[in-house]
Amino acid sequence: MSFKPTQPKFSFGRSSGGFGSAAGMVDVAGAFQAQRRNATKFDELYATGIANRANERSGIMEAKAAIIGQGLAAEAAVDSAELLADAQVKAAKSQASAAGQSATMQGIGSIIGAGLTLFSDRDTKDNIERIEDALTQLRQLKPVTFNYKPEYSTSPERLHYGFIAQEYKEVMPDATYYDESTKKLCIDPVELIGLLVRSVQQLETRVQYLEATKALAEVK
């Protein structure tokens, strides 16, 4: 027994002249086109997905940029504030130093002025005694050169000549005092004037003695 396949037959109506078949084909084509129109458009979905991911990434990058920008701005503001604070502190120290130096110089001027004028009057003094030996006392003083520290001077590079108050006090305690306004030990340079004058007199006396001794030796 043999099997013979049969060819399927399609019938699209009974119209004469093949018009039924043509109409049937039109119906199938129309249905296929309608199905295509209603079918899911994967290409559009894919394009939309790409666009959404791009927008999402762009939004994330913008947010990160904004955060970084805010952080940098905040950091710059902190640095600027610190620099401003440092500048204000330095300016305050400089002003305080200048004011302290000015007050010290004014005080010295007042002492000198008072010591040489008003307070030199005999009527203002007691226990007046002649200075016999000023050289011995002056020899104990230790003159030095120095520069004031920047916080105590507007010109720290300037070289000064004078004394260290702590050393000065050991030789002339009554010519040394503690300044409450600056909390520093100070000296009264006026007190040196009398000693210096007496030292010159002593040296002059010695020179005269040596010259006289030499002259006598030459006569003999």
CA dist., res. 191 & res. 115, Å (int): 9
State the pLDDT at residue 219: 83
Provide the domain count of the chain: 2
Reply yes or no on whether the pLDDT at 141 is more than 60.
yes
Confidence band for 72, pLDDT divided at 50, 70 and 90: low
Q: What is the DSSP letter of 184?
A: E
Same domain, 80 and 151: no
Q: Which of 91, 126, 161 is the last residue of a domain?
A: 126
Same domain, 145 and 74: no
Would you say residue 24 lies in a domain?
no
Same domain, 120 and 151: no
Q: Which of 93, 126, 159 is the last residue of a domain?
A: 126
Same domain, 113 and 163: no
State the pLDDT at residue 88: 72
Q: Which residue has the tokens 């060819």?
A: 7
Confidence band for 74, pLDDT divided at 50, 70 and 90: low
Q: Are 169 and 176 in contact (CB under 8 A)?
A: yes
What is the value of pTM for the model shown?
A: 0.45
Same domain, 116 and 150: no
Interstrand relation of 144-146 and 160-162 (parallel, antiparallel or unpaired): antiparallel
Would you say residue 165 lies in a domain?
yes
Expressed as residue numbers, the domain containing 120 is 34-126
Residue 162's DSSP bridge partners are 144
Q: Which of 95, 126, 157 is the last residue of a domain?
A: 126
SS3 143: coil
CA dist., res. 156 & res. 165, Å (int): 19
Same domain, 119 and 141: no
Question: For the ranges 11-20, 34-43, 118-127, 201-210, which has the lowest average pLDDT?
Answer: 11-20
State the pLDDT at residue 43: 61
Question: For the ranges 41-50, 80-89, 138-147, 155-164, which has the lowest average pLDDT?
Answer: 41-50
Would you say residue 23 lies in a domain?
no
Would you say residue 74 lies in a domain?
yes
Residues 6+ apart with CB under 8 A from 192: 175
Would you say residue 97 lies in a domain?
yes
Rg for the chain, CA atoms, rounded:
55
Same domain, 119 and 189: no
Same domain, 179 and 205: yes
Same domain, 121 and 133: no
State the pLDDT at residue 16: 47
pLDDT digit string (tens) for 34-70? 666 665 555 665 666 676 777 767 777 776 677 666 6
State the pLDDT at residue 19: 47
pLDDT digit string (tens) for 86-130? 777 666 666 655 565 555 555 555 555 544 455 688 888 999 999
